[in-house]
Amino acid sequence: MAKKDRAIRRKKEQMKKLIEGAGMGLGFLVMLVSLVYREQVATALNAALGPLAEFVGRNNFLITILILAVITGIYTSVVQKYTMNWELMAKSKEYQKQIRELQKELIEAKKEDNKHKIKKIEKRRAEVMKKQTQFSGEMFRQQMKPMAYIMIITLPIFMWMLVFAGEYSSGVVIFPLIGEKELSATFQFGFSYWLIWYIICSIPIAQVIRKAIGIKSAM
């Protein structure tokens, strides 16, 4: 009976890995296609997002971007919640905390010129860093896994906003605090104003959604 249960668990784990691999492959494929054929992807997505922009109004494209920030924020947060190993993330956070505390202790020990204490702290720090290094590869995989799924929805939406920001707006938009600006105009570091507005909207929205569905920061 125990062997049968283990075999069932192994099959479930294999199936889970297979599904995860397929999902990640699809995500990176969508990312590649979106970057290479961005106009074609944007045109295809326009069948769904164009009517939304028209309904909200061409003079209210900032509201359209706000709605898309909510959609991508919900999707991104749900994907992260159910694809990442949060116990592993919490463990990494604990190791980082221990390393910071040991570093402070080491600085104090060096000020006191306590060689015995310095040696002891360095030994403890090396042990903690070794433990953290042992699953660093898995940590990287945990961070990459949701990114692949997120690309499936988020990147095509970005391509749509990039291509149609001018068409579905009145051209000049009044931004809070900074006044009238062309949505497609460039701010600094190559960022367009529509992208700045998206970032302004998405950061607080994502924080609220993450808190609502019970995601704690891993930093």
The stretches in the chain having pLDDT less than 50 are 218-219
Q: Which residues contact 85 (CB under 8 A, 6 or more apart)?
A: 138, 142
Residue 219 pLDDT? 43
User: What is the rounded CA–CA span in Å between residue 17 and residue 21?
Assistant: 6
Residue 12 pLDDT? 66
Residue 216 pLDDT? 64
Residue 168 pLDDT? 73
Q: Which residues contact 109 (CB under 8 A, 6 or more apart)?
A: 117, 118, 121
Residue 17 pLDDT? 65
- What are the extents of the domains in the chain? 2-81+145-212
Q: What is the pTM of this model?
A: 0.70
Residue 38 pLDDT? 81
Residue 218 pLDDT? 47
Residue 14 pLDDT? 67
